[in-house]
């Protein structure tokens, strides 16, 4: 324990690389309302904060009444769902109805009359000035009322989205949305002639520009989906701008405050273009931590725990290692703390993990610099959009009935991105991600990248392709699963690919036999199921090894080989393991090994 405390103190003295808007220790947050006695029990468990539901319409429980038991027990809180009616209009709680009833109703109306584009108007629209003013005023008033208590963050909305979570829909074709899209297109294309050339259209004036709906795009036989794809890209921009408006309102009321969204969905539809989303707010509750942190290292991230079974405990640890700075506990059945304020079975199951993380490990990892190998995986929303169209086009109007759960399913571009990441991680490597914009502005050179992975990157801009060619010419290696750049960034099929096939080595995610980058330390895991994380804290390196969760897995002996003999300390057992360059570690299916090594 003394060494762990010294490591944390050293981090503080050396200057921790903690983002300016982040807290400095791991937060554990109870979501459901609990009385003072229950909160006292939760505090002993390691819980640090709770939830206050914003009183949007004056009919809910007064905020002061909600946080009174937290003040009494010395816990912090965050303010929840301040503007869910704006940011989550088609997925939010209604008394006596399903959370997504408005979206289901919109689908049904459009299926009955698909020629009526007014059925594709979002209500409220992100560009509606009355709603914008309403949300800014509400956020400003909420933050000013709460600022003296310093809430952890202010949640703009839970399970936000353009429609229902990450469900696909053709929102928003309302006049204000189209006006905003035309201004955005004018900036993107520069001239109406350039837009017409790309779309294959013949608009005589900007005011007449109108995108294609999904039904219209699916009827095309020329492989040009630009008039559809640009509209979908615009809606991602509109969603991110709306979030940024809310964040700016929070900051205007209190510059030190954090604006957040929760229930962030997988990369895809519903506004979930992560390259835009990560810069729109200060904090997110999200599952795809590596992608979010690569695109914005200053982002504060949280995850949610629904159960304390072995798989749930494994996820808490894996999320911590991937950069999570907090945990929200969902306890709808009172299984963590019972009504009589005694600790429930689930709470008892959490106890060991919470004690370790809150006992210094969480603070240490957050005060340390995570290592990333010189490997970049391209995150390409344009390829996702194009692939979705190619996959759904044969089904015609079947897309009208797709749900958010359907959209979590297969998409070859997104699946390849995740598969490459897993394959590299199981080789002891720690890749990062880059967006097309990062490619274009020279991020590969700035990060000293040696290997670029293009997962199903079928849509590339000319500038991105040029950056890839320059990278390859300077000695960088490029791997892809299919020929990249057969479409442009607007989803228009090209007469020939953007990249010469000789520049790219085609290798499936499971077939990365020879790589130009090798891990600094070797991990020999018989089942090839171990992910490695490393951090630097001054002269100390922190190493974490965790297996993939498997419910029937037995213990596995894993050999860790260091580049040279080092002093090794087990942070979880708080035992010195001596000076060595080779350790045999026994990993179970749940808990990681967490080591501190110094020369």
Residue 184, SS3 per DSSP:
helix
Is residue 320 within 8 Å of 20, Cβ to Cβ?
A: no
95 confidence band (pLDDT: 50, 70, 90): confident
CA angle (58, 63, 67) in 5-degree steps: 165
Task: Answer yes or no: do 294 and 158 share one domain.
Answer: yes
Task: Answer yes or no: do 485 and 537 share one domain.
Answer: no
Q: Which two tokens stand for residue 495?
A: 């007469």
Place of tokens 């391209």: 378
Q: Write down the pLDDT at residue 55.
A: 82
CATH number at residue 273: 3.20.20.80
Residue 8 predicted with pLDDT over 80: no
Q: Write down the pLDDT at residue 21.
A: 45
Tell me whether residue 247 is exposed, middle or buried, using C-beta atoms within 10 angstroms of its C-beta: 0 to 12, 13 to 18, 19 or more: buried
DSSP 540: E
Residue 78 predicted with pLDDT over 70: yes
Whether 280 is covered by a domain: the verdict is yes
Give pLDDT tens digits for 185-240: 999 999 999 999 999 999 999 999 999 999 999 999 999 999 999 999 999 999 99
Of 506, 531, 550, the position where a domain reaches its end is 506
Give pLDDT tens digits for 148-199: 999 999 999 999 999 999 999 999 999 999 999 999 999 999 999 999 999 9
Average pLDDT of the chain to the nearest whole number: 94
Whether 97 is covered by a domain: the verdict is yes
Task: Answer yes or no: do 409 and 312 share one domain.
Answer: no
Task: Answer yes or no: do 323 and 390 share one domain.
Answer: no
340 confidence band (pLDDT: 50, 70, 90): very high
Q: Write down the pLDDT at residue 372.
A: 97
Residue 334 predicted with pLDDT over 70: yes
Give pLDDT tens digits for 29-63: 999 999 999 999 999 999 999 999 998 777 678 89
Task: Answer yes or no: do 24 and 154 share one domain.
Answer: yes
Give pLDDT tens digits for 99-137: 999 999 999 999 999 999 999 999 999 999 999 999 999
Cα 18 to Cα 142: distance, rounded to the nearest angstrom: 27
Nearest residue to 50 (alpha-carbon basis) of 187, 162, 167, 152: 152
Task: Answer yes or no: do 425 and 492 share one domain.
Answer: yes
Task: Answer yes or no: do 464 and 578 share one domain.
Answer: no
Task: Answer yes or no: do 489 and 435 share one domain.
Answer: yes
- What phi, psi does 148 have (nearest 5°)? -70, -20
Residue 15 predicted with pLDDT over 80: no
Residue 327, SS3 per DSSP:
strand
Q: Write down the pLDDT at residue 482.
A: 98
Mean pLDDT calculated for residue range 68-77? 95
Predicted TM-score (pTM) of the model is: 0.94
Q: Write down the pLDDT at residue 2.
A: 57
Residue 330 predicted with pLDDT over 90: yes
Q: Tell me the residue range of the domain where 129 lies.
A: 2-172+230-369
The number of domains in the chain is: 3
Q: Write down the pLDDT at residue 553.
A: 77
Give pLDDT tens digits for 452-510: 999 999 999 999 999 999 999 999 999 999 999 999 999 999 999 999 999 999 999 99
Whether 406 is covered by a domain: the verdict is yes
Residue 3 predicted with pLDDT over 70: no
Whether 207 is covered by a domain: the verdict is no
Of 460, 475, 506, the position where a domain reaches its end is 506
Whether 196 is covered by a domain: the verdict is no
Residue 140 predicted with pLDDT over 70: yes
Q: Which two tokens stand for residue 360?
A: 């210094």
Give percent above pLDDT 90 in the chain.
Answer: 92
Mean pLDDT calculated for residue range 6-35? 65
Q: Where are the beta strands (DSSP E) in 307-384?
A: 326-329, 369-370, 375-378
Give percent above pLDDT 70 in the chain.
Answer: 96
Residue 9 predicted with pLDDT over 60: no
Q: Tell me how far apart the terminal alpha carbons of the chain are, to the nearest angstrom.
A: 20
Task: Answer yes or no: do 352 and 379 share one domain.
Answer: no
Task: Answer yes or no: do 444 and 489 share one domain.
Answer: yes
Residue 22 predicted with pLDDT over 70: no
CATH number at residue 560: 2.60.40.1180
Mean pLDDT calculated for residue range 328-356? 97
Of 506, 536, 562, the position where a domain reaches its end is 506
The dihedral sign for the CA sequence 31, 34, 36, 41: negative
Whether 206 is covered by a domain: the verdict is no
Q: Write down the pLDDT at residue 14.
A: 38
Q: Quick one: angle between helices 36-45 and 345-356, nearest 10?
A: 50
Cα 343 to Cα 38: distance, rounded to the nearest angstrom: 9
Cα 518 to Cα 435: distance, rounded to the nearest angstrom: 24
11 confidence band (pLDDT: 50, 70, 90): very low
Task: Answer yes or no: do 323 and 357 share one domain.
Answer: yes
CATH number at residue 482: 3.40.50.880
Task: Answer yes or no: do 108 and 245 share one domain.
Answer: yes
Mean pLDDT calculated for residue range 62-77? 94
Distant-in-sequence, close-in-space partners of 38: CB < 8 Å, separation ≥ 6: 337, 339, 341
Residue 559 predicted with pLDDT over 70: yes
Whether 268 is covered by a domain: the verdict is yes
Whether 182 is covered by a domain: the verdict is no
Q: Write down the pLDDT at residue 5.
A: 56
Q: Write down the pLDDT at residue 4.
A: 59
Contacts made by residues 510-513, CB under 8 angstroms, sequence distance 24+: 510/419, 510/423, 512/420, 512/423, 512/424, 512/427, 512/479
């Amino acid at each position: 324990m003394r060494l762990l405390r010294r490591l944390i103190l050293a981090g503080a003295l050396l200057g921790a690389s903690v983002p300016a808007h982040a807290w400095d220790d791991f937060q554990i947050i109870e979501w459901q309302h609990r009385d003072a006695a229950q909160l006292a029990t939760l505090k002993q468990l390691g819980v640090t904060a709770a939830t206050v539901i914003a009183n949007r319409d004056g009919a809910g429980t007064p905020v002061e009444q909600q946080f009174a038991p937290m003040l009494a027990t010395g816990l912090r809180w965050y303010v929840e769902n301040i503007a869910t009616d704006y940011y989550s209009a088609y997925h939010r709680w209604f008394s006596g109805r399903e959370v997504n009833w408005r979206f289901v109703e919109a689908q049904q109306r459009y299926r009955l009359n698909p020629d009526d584009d007014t059925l594709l108007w979002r209500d409220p629209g992100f560009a509606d000035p009355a709603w914008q003013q309403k949300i800014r005023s509400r956020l400003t008033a909420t933050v000013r009322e709460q600022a003296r208590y310093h809430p952890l963050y202010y949640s703009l909305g839970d399970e936000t989205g353009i429609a229902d979570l990450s469900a696909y829909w053709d929102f928003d074709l309302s006049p204000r949305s189209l006006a905003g899209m035309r201004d955005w297109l004018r900036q993107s294309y520069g001239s109406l002639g350039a837009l017409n050339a790309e779309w294959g259209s013949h608009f005589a004036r900007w005011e007449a520009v109108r995108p294609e709906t999904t039904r219209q795009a699916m009827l095309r036989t020329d492989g040009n989906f630009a008039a559809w794809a640009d509209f979908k890209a615009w809606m991602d921009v509109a969603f991110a701008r709306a979030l940024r408006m809310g964040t700016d309102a929070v900051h205007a009321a209190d510059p030190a405050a954090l604006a957040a969204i929760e229930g962030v969905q997988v990369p895809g539809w519903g506004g979930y273009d992560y390259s835009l989303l990560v810069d729109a707010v200060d904090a997110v509750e999200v599952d795809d931590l590596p992608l979010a942190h690569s695109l914005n290292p200053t982002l504060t991230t949280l995850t949610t725990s629904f159960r304390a079974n072995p798989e749930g405990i494994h996820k808490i640890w894996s999320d911590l290692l991937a950069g999570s700075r907090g945990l929200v506990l969902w306890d709808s059945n009172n299984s963590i703390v019972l009504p009589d304020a005694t600790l429930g079975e689930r709470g008892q199951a959490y106890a060991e993990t919470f004690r370790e993380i809150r006992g210094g490990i969480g603070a240490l990892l957050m005060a340390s610099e995570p290592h990333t190998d010189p490997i970049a995986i391209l995150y390409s929303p344009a390829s996702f959009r194009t692939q979705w169209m190619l996959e759904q086009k044969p089904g015609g109007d079947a897309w009208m009935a797709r749900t958010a759960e359907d959209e979590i399913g297969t998409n070859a571009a997104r699946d390849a991105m995740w598969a490459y990441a897993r394959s590299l991680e199981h080789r002891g490597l720690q890749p990062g991600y880059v967006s097309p914009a990062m490619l274009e502005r020279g991020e590969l050179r700035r990060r000293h990248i040696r290997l670029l992975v293009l997962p199903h990157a079928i849509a590339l801009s000319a500038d991105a392709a040029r950056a890839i060619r320059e990278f390859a010419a300077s000695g960088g290696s490029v791997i892809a699963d299919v020929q990249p750049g057969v479409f442009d960034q607007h989803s228009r099929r090209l007469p020939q690919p953007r990249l010469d096939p000789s520049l790219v080595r085609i290798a499936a995610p499971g077939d990365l036999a020879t790589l130009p980058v090798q891990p600094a330390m070797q991990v020999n895991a018989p089942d090839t199921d171990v992910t490695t994380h490393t951090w630097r804290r001054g002269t100390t390196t922190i190493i974490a090894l965790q297996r993939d969760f498997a419910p029937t897995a037995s213990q596995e002996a894993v050999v860790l080989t260091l580049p040279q003999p080092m002093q090794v300390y087990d942070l979880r057992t708080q035992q010195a393991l001596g000076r060595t360059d080779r350790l045999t570690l026994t990993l179970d299916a749940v808990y990681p090994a967490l080591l501190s090594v110094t020369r």
